[in-house]
């Protein structure tokens, strides 16, 4: 069975010291690199996504334009294309990544399926063209972009597995709720 690995949003703004830091984000970057080094041969394709927002707009309401962000639908400015915050965390090894996916280009976007390569190819088209049937997910944040990406992959008919020791979330309670929801939908939870 052809497998792909999705590395979701392991970026500076989502790790310690970033605009929307996730506790344990840097540790996830290191752990994903170790995992990829040991298991690259297990995957036909490796995708890595990044939020890639516009800096001069509110990105379709994604950035809180007036007042405080609600941290549900509106967020502080983060992962602006071309800034250090949008860069991959330096501990994430990029050598084995086949496709770099940009998402949230002017609009709210959480799932890797909402992004494209720099050439404009969709994740769905790439997955289908290469005959991928199983997808493993790792990255940030469990309760937002990992959750949304896992749901989309499952809804596109793929066998989906979240490697729970290679993710970190915004909050423990919402991350646990997201994992239980994924499991109830038929997504497998596994340890790397």
Q: What's the number of CA atoms in the CB half-sphere (13 Å) around residue 13?
A: 20
- Backbone dihedral angles phi then psi of residue 91, each to the nearest 5 degrees: -85, -5
CA 187 to CA 179: how far, in whole Å?
A: 9
Catalytic residue among 13, 51, 79, 103: 103
CA 45 to CA 149: how far, in whole Å?
A: 16
**Is 158 considered catalytic here?**
no
In three-state form (DSSP H/G/I as H, E/B as E, the rest C), the secondary structure along 118-159 is CCCCEHHHHHHHCCCCEEEEEEECHHHHHHHHHHHHHHCCCE
Catalytic residue among 136, 143, 145, 152: 145
Contacts of residue 186, defined as CB under 8 A and 6 or more positions apart, other chains included, come to 154, 160
Total H helices, total E strands in the chain: 4, 6
CA 157 to CA 154: how far, in whole Å?
A: 5
| Cβ neighbours, 10 Å, residue 3 | 18
**Is 73 considered catalytic here?**
no
**Is 136 considered catalytic here?**
no
Instruction: Cite the active site residues.
Output: 9, 103, 145
């Amino acid at each position: 069975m052809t497998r792909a690995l999705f590395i979701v949003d392991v970026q500076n703004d989502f790790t310690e010291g970033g605009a929307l830091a996730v506790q344990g984000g840097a540790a996830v970057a290191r752990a994903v690199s170790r995992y990829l080094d040991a298991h690259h041969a297990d995957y036909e394709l490796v995708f890595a996504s990044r939020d890639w927002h516009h800096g001069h707009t509110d990105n379709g309401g994604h950035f809180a334009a007036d007042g405080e962000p609600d941290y549900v639908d509106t967020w502080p400015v983060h992962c602006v294309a071309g800034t250090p915050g949008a860069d991959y965390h330096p501990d994430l090894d990029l050598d084995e990544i086949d496709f770099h996916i940009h998402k949230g280009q002017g609009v709210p976007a959480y799932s890797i399926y909402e992004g494209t390569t720099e050439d404009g190819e969709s994740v769905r088209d790439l997955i289908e063209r290469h005959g991928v049937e199983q997808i493993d997910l790792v990255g940030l944040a469990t309760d937002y972009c990992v959750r949304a990406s896992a749901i989309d992959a499952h809804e596109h008919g793929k066998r989906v597995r979240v490697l729970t020791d290679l993710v970190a979330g915004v909050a423990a309670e919402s991350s646990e709720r997201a994992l239980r929801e994924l499991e109830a939908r038929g997504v497998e939870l596994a340890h790397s």
